[in-house]
Amino acid sequence: MKRYPLIADHGLVGDLQTAALISDEGVVDWFAAPRFDSPGVFSALLDHDRGGYFRLSVDGPDVTVKQLYYPDTAMLVTRFMSPDGVGELMDWMPPDRTGRPTARHALMRVMRCTRGRVAFTLECRPRFGFGRTPHDVRIDGLTAAFRSAAMAGFLQSNVPLERDGPYDVRGRLELSEGQVAGASFTVDGPEAEVPPLPDVGEVEAALWEAVDFWQRWVRTARYRGRWPDMVHRSAITLKLLTYLPSGAPIAAPTLGLPEQVGGERNWDYRYTWVRDGSLAVRALLDLGFEEEAAAFTDWLTARVAERSAGPADGRPLQIMYRVDGDPWLPEEVLSEFEGYRGSAPVRVGNAAADQLQLDIFGEAMYALAQGGGQDIQPTYEGWRAVSGLLDWLADAWDAPDEGIWETRGGRKDFTFSRVMSWVAFDRGLRLAEEFGRPAALDTWRAARDEIFAQVMRRGWSERRGALTQSFGGDVLDASLLLIPRTGLLGPTDPRWLSTLDAIERGLVRDNLVHRYDPGAAPDGLRGAEGTFSLCTFLYVDALARAGRVRQARFAFEKMLTYANHVGLFAEEIGPSGEQLGNFPQAFTHLSLIMAATTLDETLDALAARPG
């Protein structure tokens, strides 16, 4: 067992309330429960010795491993191949069907021998509350019960179990061709009773129910383009990262995975960003998943409505929340954890929640306007909240902020924040006029037009021949690749094409795109970072819209080669082609869908031209 497998050496399973990462060695080294944003139960990815893990593997010097997803599902298959035989491990979590929060969540693991003989080794080492909550363990036949003051965990298996030290269990089972064994790890409240031991038939039925659930859901996608496998995998990943009881998507299921190994850029992404969720609406609608898109816009409207009276600083929205809408996200450091390969500090919570990022109001209105495009009228209370948001923004937009990238180097007049403020008023005006809603139309229109003029005047660098990261500067920023989608400038406007050319010269390396240059624009943090995968897909989108179709397709298909072995992407690609940052990253997968649909539409239009 590797102390720290590569970030990319993992698949994701989940039940729509929480999720687990499982390495290609069959090790569950990340699992938080009962929700995505709960403390870790297995956190070995952040500290091999203190974090805890659940291992089911076939050992041996000549064992090779292949990991894949069962087609169009979230069922993960790990195949162990040796001279003596071939063993398979299937991992999944039964998907939530109720939409109600629950304390009980189960990781299901089925082992089988498909040829010869193989011996599976089991090690179960939970560490509740990031290892801060002690537990005891009791073995009773085929069940090991781990109990702490905050949570209970139950390991049930037909692998013979034995105690391994004071807190853990282990076992070993040899299977012959055709034989099957299973293990499940169920978490529940601290006083929960041991669940009934499932028989083979119940486990098999649960497996096929989960297969049917995912395959039926994927079949509802209306994507008929050129890259169905990658688009469907991205859609499944976005679904896995959405908290079903509230409809809120998280940015990633992990915390603390570094943007630079050994560096300090290690954040907690297990929350719902207004920005990420709002852009996901467009990706979901492009695929026909209107129910999921509507669930998030309902969640977003509720956040706007509950803050319409304004917090202490008057803002009607903060940039991120917990999945249930709780705005309280204090940041602390897990000082006892060494971090992934020494990448410390390991932060829990996210202090960026308190930042002023004016672009989120544009992304929020962008998402709500997408719903309007589906003939979904805003409710009376919802419109009051939205109208109040824009009235507040009319007085607040012309101010420095921390910007889209949550830098900790001080506030600036970020161009992208102004662009998205323009979007907020533009979409608000469209909604008001489309549905005949009362609004301060003259005020909103004046703000929209003033922002446009300011961006063109102060955001433009004559030296660069481009719109830049902040007013009066020359630093480029890949967030501006969203401009053609917003409508602020047309995709072939000379100013936009000049900006695109400048970004290509300054931020693109072998078709991969950096967010910005931290050396030229200090962001308050030490170290460097890789190329940002979201930005690479936005680059593809912008190229396709600009008519540079061959270049766009080449960049897109090259980027797909950086996916891991099961089609997943982290946040960044490092200098050696490795995946970096929290994993998998919703932002990356939603932008993949956006780029694919834009590129397909452009290629189809070219193919339909006569001659």
| pLDDT, tens only, 258-314 | 999 999 989 999 999 999 999 999 899 999 999 999 999 999 999 988 864 445 467
What local confidence, expressed as pLDDT, does residue 115 receive? Answer: 97
For 526-564, b where at least 16 C-beta lie within 10 A, e where not — what string? eeebbbbbbbbbbbbbbbbbbebbebbbebbeebbebbb
What local confidence, expressed as pLDDT, does residue 407 receive? Answer: 75
Per the CB < 8 A criterion, the answer to whether 537 and 513 are in contact is no
Q: Which of 182, 172, 180 is nearest to 109 (CA)?
A: 182
Largest Cα span, the chain: 77
Structure tokens given for 410: 């001080």
Q: How far apart are CA 322 and CA 348, in angstroms?
A: 13
Q: How far apart are CA 163 and CA 356, in angstroms?
A: 51
Q: How far apart are CA 348 and CA 456, in angstroms?
A: 40
What local confidence, expressed as pLDDT, does residue 306 receive? Answer: 85
- Residue 208 neighbours by CB under 8 Å, 6+ apart: none
What pTM did the predictor assign? 0.96
DSSP code of residue 176: E
- Residue 201 neighbours by CB under 8 Å, 6+ apart: none
What local confidence, expressed as pLDDT, does residue 371 receive? Answer: 61
Structure tokens given for 373: 């495009």
Question: DSSP string covering 324-353, please?
Answer: TS------EE-TT---GGG----EES-GGG
Angle at the Cα of 460 from the Cα atoms of 456 and 407, rounded to 5 degrees = 105
Per the CB < 8 A criterion, the answer to whether 601 and 545 are in contact is no
Per the CB < 8 A criterion, the answer to whether 48 and 4 are in contact is yes
Per the CB < 8 A criterion, the answer to whether 188 and 177 are in contact is no
Angle at the Cα of 212 from the Cα atoms of 234 and 97, rounded to 5 degrees = 85
Give pairs for 438-445: CB < 8 Å, separation 24+: 438/387, 439/387, 439/390, 440/387, 440/390, 440/391, 440/394, 443/391, 443/394, 444/390, 444/394
- Residue 576 neighbours by CB under 8 Å, 6+ apart: none
Low-confidence ranges of the chain (pLDDT < 50): 308-310, 312, 372-373
Beta strands in 441-564 (DSSP E): 460-461, 466-467, 508-509, 512-513, 531-532
- Residue 442 neighbours by CB under 8 Å, 6+ apart: none
Please give the C-alpha separations between residue 411 and each of 40, 191, 403, 472, 560, in angstroms, as whole numbers.
34, 48, 8, 14, 35
Please tell me the CATH code under which domain 10-216 is placed.
2.70.98.10
Q: For residue 317, how many C-alpha atoms fall within 13 Å in the half-sphere facing its CB?
A: 30
Question: DSSP string covering 151-165, please?
Answer: -EEEEEESSPEEEET
Q: How far apart are CA 457 and CA 317, in angstroms?
A: 28
| pLDDT, tens only, 552-582 | 999 999 999 999 999 999 999 999 999 999 9
Coil, helix or strand at residue 94 = coil
Dihedral-angle region of residue 258 (phi above 0 means left; psi in -120 to 50 means alpha; beta otherwise): beta
Beta bridge partners of 153: 146, 187
What local confidence, expressed as pLDDT, does residue 333 receive? Answer: 97
Domain 227-608 has CATH 1.50.10.10: yes
What local confidence, expressed as pLDDT, does residue 95 receive? Answer: 97
What local confidence, expressed as pLDDT, does residue 602 receive? Answer: 97
**Domain ranges across the chain:** 10-216, 227-608
453 CA to centre of own chain: 35
